[in-house]
Amino acid sequence: MIDIKLDKNKITTFKGKEHKKVLFLEIEKRPEDRYSDFKEDFIRIDDEYYVFDYYDFKGDLQTGLGIIIFSIILHFWAGGSLVTGPFWITGLIFLVGLSFMIKLLVIKEKKLIMDRLGGLFSYPNYWSNTPVIVNFKDAIFLNAPQGKMGAPSLMAPYSNWRINGFILAGIEVKSKLSFFVWYMDKNRPLPPGKTFDPYRQKDFERRKAEGFPPPLYYSCGIPTPEATPEQQAEREQYWKDQEYYAPDIKRPKDSEIFNKRTHKSWNPCVFGEKETILANKWYEFTFANGKIVYMLTNEKGEGFLPPEEEKYEVASLTLKDTWF
């Protein structure tokens, strides 16, 4: 059996490296159940590990041979021979194809490994059999358009190469990242899909034994229910989805979402008057030290305000394409 345990002593950090358009680690879209379409590429997929192998021998072989054959045809089409011709063009193309072949034989470690319980995330590095291993909470994901058409792609930066990164998904960026976040949030139920059904009861019992700790990551209005109504009722004695919703807007990366457990000093209040209750509305609190906290009122307009001694400004938000 392949050893998929990740070495915590080889964790990579991206401190000091700036990346634009870093995506939030949040559940923005309900992921599709497409895991059965790629069964042959999975090494393991359950309540503890998700291991997908990107190593594509046949695909890389076809690409490399295709480029090599094209360079040879181009060479003779341009009037060249075995000893003469535009080698500076065709030779360069030939070397590109050859590099695919070399990489195919040398770089075989191309696995995506998600350790749900350990919180570790691993993906292929640049021309290396040593993968990038990060704490998932520190992982960097980018929406990196590819090609002339600017097709969206989900990319994670290499640790041994300053530019570019490994493409984790060529389509459905939000859905794919939402799946990663959902799966790696060990305090939520497993993501939707028949693939995880055999493991839901075991996962529920683990979280129950731990006292149903609150989610590690937020959801943009996407419910993460338990497998049965009875399990849902039992979990909601500890926390509800609505308590861990985040506003679906552009906001600072280091901003916070209000939660009664982490903002215990905040005081309850009602926003609006009896005739105009401001229900299900987000408020942005900006403090003197630069901290920003977002707070959502409930269906009765009930919410919370920071302690009076704290200096802050508050503004209501109008959300487009909101989930309310």
pLDDT average, residue stretch 156-176:
87
- In angstroms, what CA-CA distances link 250 with 154, 196, 222, 317, 322? 18, 32, 17, 11, 13
pLDDT digits (tens, 9 = 90+) for 242-272: 889 988 777 887 888 998 878 999 999 998 8
CA distance 56 to 311: 57
Of residues 112 and 34, more confidently modeled:
112
- Give the residue, 83 or 64, on which the prediction is more confident: 64
pTM for the predicted model, two decimal places: 0.79
The residue ranking higher by pLDDT, 171 or 183, is 183
Q: Judging by DSSP bridges, how do beta strands 218-219 and 26-27 pair with one another? A: parallel
Q: What whole-number distance in Å separates Cα of residue 11 and Cα of residue 59?
A: 30
Q: Which amino acid is at 153?
A: S
Q: For 189-235, how does the pLDDT look when each residue is reduced to its tens digit (9 = 90+)?
A: 999 989 999 999 999 999 999 999 999 999 998 999 999 999 999 99
- For residue 242, the model assigns a pLDDT of 87
